[in-house]
Amino acid sequence: MVPKFHGCIAPIVTPVDEHENVDEKGFRALLDWCVAGGLHGILVAGTNGETMALTQKERLRAIRIAVDQIGGRIPVMAGCMDTSTRRVVENIKAAQDVGVTCAAVTPVFYDRHTSQDETVRHFERILQETDIPELVIYNIPPFVGIKLTPQTIIRISELDSRIVGCKDSSGDYSGFMTLLHHFKGTSFSLMNGATPQALSEILMGAAGFLPSVCPVFPELFAEAYDAAASGDAALTWEYDALLAETSKILGMSKNATASAKYAISLRGMTDKRVIWPQDGTTPEDEARIAAQVKKIDEMYRAFKEKRRG
């Protein structure tokens, strides 16, 4: 059973202009590039999309553009996370108004986080107050201040059939394996947000992954997913070595989002700009990133030629 949300899903960056408004032309071109490259879905207005740095107006505009440009060719989920349940409910309703059918939701943040129960209540109220067809649990401890346990994720999944998946960016391999065992054979989309461990988990049954730099190398990432999903461990290890090189890009500046945005900008569709007051890339960073992108492009070409034999 292949879940709706599966494969390599791009946690897409949000290109912005000098006024920090969405660069619509560049964004539409980037979305088309991802589809043409074989990626299996889009997460718009997520962490990599600087969702909380955008104004609410521009955040919703980014979501509207993504839904419109993708036009149903691949699934789209929209980040609707916020600092309270009421704000998330309002975000979801606004996203639905522009065509969203799946919302990705984190625990609330800038909060004391007294228990795991609060996040269960958070999802209960969202389910009560919205009619969004699909909700994805987004577990990303560094950005929200709480790590959802596997048991909490399972509890939330049992609230309603509209809870269709989880993006786990905790990096907890053991916890992810607990979830894999629990959801094995179901339509629940268990997806990884930590690229270094993603392919091995897909080999063992995970639905997919959301790597930050996949828009730089969409064909490579789509093929890597296909190898792992096919169960070909030897081929997957070869792809994993290539993906390990892509992960180095994120550490080549102070800010992983800035690194990703600069690398993506090298494809000629978007600007490298990040939203104030984040650190951007320095000329030295950019030289390193450009050299790494070139290196990976050359490695991937050689890999394909070798496979063609």
Confirm if 156 and 123 have CB atoms less than 8 A apart: yes
Q: Which residue reads 């390990």 in tokens? A: 244
H/E element holding 234? helix 233-247
Beta strands (DSSP E) in the chain are 7-11, 41-44, 76-79, 102-105, 134-139, 163-168, 189-192, 208-209
In the structure encoding, which two tokens stand for residue 210, read together?
A: 């959301």
Listing DSSP states for 17-44 in one string gives: -TTS-B-HHHHHHHHHHHHHTT--EEEE
Q: Which residues are catalytic?
A: 138, 167
In the structure encoding, which two tokens stand for residue 281, read together?
A: 């890339």
Distance of alpha carbon 26 from alpha carbon 6, whole angstroms: 26
Q: How many CA atoms lie within 13 A of 118 on its CB side?
A: 15
Which has the closest alpha carbon to 166: 152, 97, 174, 143? 152
In the structure encoding, which two tokens stand for residue 221, read together?
A: 């990432």
